[in-house]
């Protein structure tokens, strides 16, 4: 049985249609929502990007406390042996973060692939623009912005590419994120209104998910 395909138009940066690209319906034509897989993928990415920068001082790390604050008896106050005590203001923290927290969350490969296929299918239905080539002759932010406007890349735009001139041209354009093909996440696709990708890269993306 022949594999089911979906067809998407291919345009150039001048907005002219130059052909069509046939893509696998198994990757770009999924109709199920698969909300749990997508949710897990976004949670995993967010958790894995989290840095363990929070740090509090334990009792042995607080300065001072070498001398008994006051005599044991006769003051009418509770006995105290050190100003480093957690019950004292300025004392050590008992169960605070130590800077070694591990926030890593994993998702199995099949579930992550399903999430990626689902969000790509949603974009293919509305918001995926395939361009014949995203390699630029020179660095020009103005020309890049005009090209995106010409091909009707609207709203938040995810531009997939790693060409040096492309990356530098897109740096200062508002509401535009540039990602290399091997660094696209489910969240990046969900967060974009429009995804712009070259015909070569969309084929490579398809091959990695089949």
Quickly state the pLDDT bin for 100 (edges 50, 70, 90): very high
- Tell me the per-residue pLDDT of 13-70, one tens digit each, with 9 for 90 and over: 999 999 999 999 999 999 999 999 999 999 999 999 999 899 999 999 999 988 999 9
pTM surpassing 0.75?
A: yes
- Tell me the per-residue pLDDT of 124-152, one tens digit each, with 9 for 90 and over: 999 999 999 999 999 999 999 999 999 99
β-bridge pairing 157-160 and 194-198: parallel
CATH class of 5-43+107-209: alpha beta
Q: Are 128 and 197 in contact (CB under 8 A)?
A: yes
Answer whether residue 1 shows pLDDT above 80.
Answer: no
Q: Are 170 and 134 in contact (CB under 8 A)?
A: no
Share of residues in the chain with pLDDT > 70 (%): 99
Residue 7 falls in which region: left (phi positive, over 0), alpha (psi -120 to 50) or beta: beta
Tell me where in the chain the CATH 3.40.1370.10 domain(s) lie: 5-43+107-209
Closest C-alpha among 111, 133, 113 to residue 199: 133
- In the numeric block, the tokens 């995804």 are attached to 195
Distance CA 45, CA 50 (A): 9
- Tell me the per-residue pLDDT of 163-175, one tens digit each, with 9 for 90 and over: 999 999 999 999 9
């Amino acid at each position: 049985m022949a594999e089911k395909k979906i067809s998407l138009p291919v345009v150039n940066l001048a907005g002219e249609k130059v052909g069509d690209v046939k893509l696998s319906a198994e990757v770009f034509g999924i109709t199920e929502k698969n909300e749990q897989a997508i949710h897990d993928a976004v949670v995993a990415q967010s958790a894995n990007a989290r840095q363990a920068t929070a740090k509090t001082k334990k009792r042995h790390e607080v300065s001072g406390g070498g001398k008994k604050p006051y005599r044991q008896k006769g003051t009418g106050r509770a006995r105290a042996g050190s100003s480093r005590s957690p019950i004292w203001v300025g004392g050590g923290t008992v169960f605070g973060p130590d800077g070694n927290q591990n926030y890593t969350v994993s998702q199995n490969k099949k579930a992550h692939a399903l999430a990626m296929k689902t969000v790509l299918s949603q974009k293919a239905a509305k918001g995926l623009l395939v361009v014949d080539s995203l390699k630029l002759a020179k660095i020009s932010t103005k020309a890049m912005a005009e090209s995106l406007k010409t091909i009707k890349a609207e709203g938040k735009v995810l531009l997939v590419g790693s060409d040096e001139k492309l990356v530098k041209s897109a740096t200062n354009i508002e509401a535009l994120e540039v990602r290399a093909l091997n660094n696209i996440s489910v969240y990046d696709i969900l967060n974009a209104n429009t995804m712009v990708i070259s015909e070569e890269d969309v084929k490579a993306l398809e091959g990695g998910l089949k």
